[in-house]
Structure 1
Amino acid sequence: MPFTRRDFMAASAGFAASTALGLKPRMAHAQLALGEIRLDVVSDGSLTLPGGFIFDTMPKDALAPILEKYDLSAEVLTPPCNVTLMRSGKRVILFDVGSGPDFAPNAGEIVTSLEALGVTPEDVTDVVFTHAHPDHLWGLLDDFDDPLFAQASYMIGKAEWDYWMNPNTVDEIGDARASFAVGAQRRLAAIEDTITLFNDGEEIIPGVAARATLGHTPGHMSFEVRDGSNAVMILGDCIGNHHVAFEQPAWISGSDQDGEAAAKTRVDLLDQLAAEKTQIIGFHLAGDGIGHVEKSASAYTFVPGEKA
């Protein structure tokens, strides 16, 4: 369905009512240790989305029992925004930077969340982007349109960079997402002189390998953080929720720019993650985003929490 920032604002008109149901942003924080690597998951708040943003492309009769199972509204969704902070040696690395103040009214909390850990924007040495959608990128600039993380170097997949920086993207992406392209180009241009581009399979930081997980955007990347035989996969939005993406990963989601490619990515990745018993961190997965994947005869399940 067509979806714009206006839809966020309209859906947020009912946000006060949703808080009565416990659907309010919170300062999520969880931590994983992977050898000498420390991973913290902090909150950028949450989004308030019209349910149709995801569900309109899906068969309504088959969708209904999934909504009931997970106690979901078909009208409004409030997914969390879970940002991953990695500390390894002297490096302080952020995977995505959240929304900033200009996209969603109940997001943009990353600086406050980092401060709770004693981390300031000036402490961040590296910023790695999964993709350039607003809730992952628009927190890049401060109130003066300067990079908020002033001491950081920046990394993004080459295909993702090329897509959003292509001047034709604004005209070709469609009216519903044209503002996404304008916003991405403005912010990425601000760091053009300090950005490093990478490709699938490259080790971008010691212990961190890029994994192409295409479809949600044309160059979407996930990141495998590994210490010996132990690994954590930072997913971004390639698996974008804890419910229908696991129950029916082959269904086309309205949130994905290339629905068919994204569905194939989900099916293949869920199969791999379940087989390898890899821990995951999902930007919009329930709670703090940490968990693992289990496979049943007909579906997958997100199991939240750190594995024993």
Structure 2
Amino acid sequence: MNKLTRSPMKRREFLSVAGGAAIAGAVPSPSRASGRHRFLHGEFDITVLSDGFLTLSADILLPDASPEVRSPILTSLGGDDSGARVQANVPLVRYGKDLILIDNGGGDNFQPSTGRLLQNLLSAGFDPAAITKVIFTHAHPDHSGATTTASGEILYPNATYYVSQTEWDFWTDRDFESRRPHALHAFAEGAKRDLLAVKDRIQLVGEGDEVVPGMAIVNTPGHTPGHISVELQGRDNLLITGDACTNDVIFFQNPNWHFGFDTDPELALKSRRQLLDRAATEKLKMLGYHWTYPGVGYAERKGEAYRFVGA
């Protein structure tokens, strides 16, 4: 484990959501399991691959909204009053000889509707052994769960793994269970499984660190204590947001609403507002992990809120 040199709930039990397939049958939106969207951004060649989808309950997606407000939003997401599906969009970034994944999906460690990334990588002609870097925006199981196979082998055997110092310290704390709420314990179990599996390949990063030239870390804490986003230089710099803004429909229109899996709800709101305000002001391109596939677009101001405009 190394430190990278810097360059100029409202909580619900994890297992109840990991078993979210219980409501999946009621939600008809497509899985995007075979999604593949490619575009160029400056020196970067980006392919957005699908890891499938996950199903979240209404209480997780919209904890602040009344039932009458929830219903039309969930319908617009292709769901019903019990919940809705959200996509899992994984960017694969080619830069020179590097192939960089930003998050690696759920593998076999989340809902059965996730874990499609490996299949889609292979279908697109990419060998897992060719992946040189994996950046974790955070260590929730739908973002880091595919670090190892079911038999415990590292799925991307030649990659270096990047995670923020704060994220590493939080989840690998030996006293986690005695110091943190019970609702986080299952999350910590998954995070430790994934992070410790590659501990000898970890690079610890923070604000402003460059993974490759023109690809820098942006701190966006709150969803988890060490959540990061990734900024790529180019025309209309590209911000890859992870879960700093979890859904393009709900949280663009309602930037002051909470999300049920935010570890620090108020800090998460602050990070989201800052992110959307900057993106709208500077006309930055954005890419969101759980946004409508392929999740690439812009934040446009609409009164006190925002509108997502697909690129």
Deviates more, 1:63-72 or 1:137-146: 63-72
- Describe the shift of the 1:55–1:178 C-alpha distance in structure 2 as closer, same or farther (beyond 3 A): same
Structure 2 counterparts to residues 9-88 of structure 1, below 5 A: 9=19, 11-18=20-27, 21-60=28-67, 63=70, 66-67=73-74, 72-88=79-95
- Describe the shift of the 1:69–1:97 C-alpha distance in structure 2 as closer, same or farther (beyond 3 A): closer
Shift of 1:30: 1.0
Q: 2:143 aligns with which of 136, 140, 145?
A: 136
Q: Distance in 1 between matches of 2:56 and 2:103?
A: 20
State whether residues 233 and 278 of structure 1, in contact with CA within 8 Å, keep that contact through their aligned partners in structure 2: yes
Corresponding residue for residue 6 of structure 1: 16
Corresponding residue for residue 107 of structure 1: 114
Counterpart of 2:300 in 1: which secondary structure? strand
Corresponding residue for residue 202 of structure 2: 195
The TM-score normalised by the length of structure 2 is 0.91
Q: Distance in 2 between matches of 1:106 and 1:97?
A: 15
Q: Distance in 2 between matches of 1:193 and 1:71?
A: 42
Q: Distance in 1 between matches of 2:180 and 2:90?
A: 26
Shift of 1:106: 0.3
1:261 aligns with 2:267: yes
State whether residues 57 and 254 of structure 1, in contact with CA within 8 Å, keep that contact through their aligned partners in structure 2: no
Q: 1:246 aligns with which of 244, 252, 259?
A: 252
1:97 aligns with 2:104: yes
- Describe the shift of the 1:65–1:103 C-alpha distance in structure 2 as closer, same or farther (beyond 3 A): closer
1:162-221 alpha-carbon deviations (Å, 9 max, x no partner): 111112223444223311101111221111111111111112211101000010000100
Q: Distance in 1 between matches of 2:61 and 2:23?
A: 18
State whether residues 294 and 303 of structure 1, in contact with CA within 8 Å, keep that contact through their aligned partners in structure 2: yes
Matched residues, percent identical?
34
One-letter code aligned to 1:56: P
Corresponding residue for residue 220 of structure 1: 227
Q: Distance in 2 between matches of 1:70 and 1:144?
A: 35
Corresponding residue for residue 124 of structure 2: 117
Q: Distance in 2 between matches of 1:107 and 1:255?
A: 18
- CA-atom RMSD, angstroms? 1.9
Equivalent pairs counted in the alignment come to: 301
> Which one scores higher on RCO, CA 8 angstroms, separation ≥ 6?
2
Shift of 1:72: 4.9
Unmatched segments (≥5 aa) in structure 1: none
Q: Distance in 2 between matches of 1:150 and 1:14?
A: 35
Unmatched segments (≥5 aa) in structure 2: 1-10
Counterpart of 2:25 in 1: which secondary structure? helix
Shift of 1:263: 0.6
Corresponding residue for residue 235 of structure 1: 241
Counterpart of 1:79 in 2: which secondary structure? strand
4+ residue stretches of structure 1 with deviation over 6 A? Answer: none
Shift of 1:124: 0.2
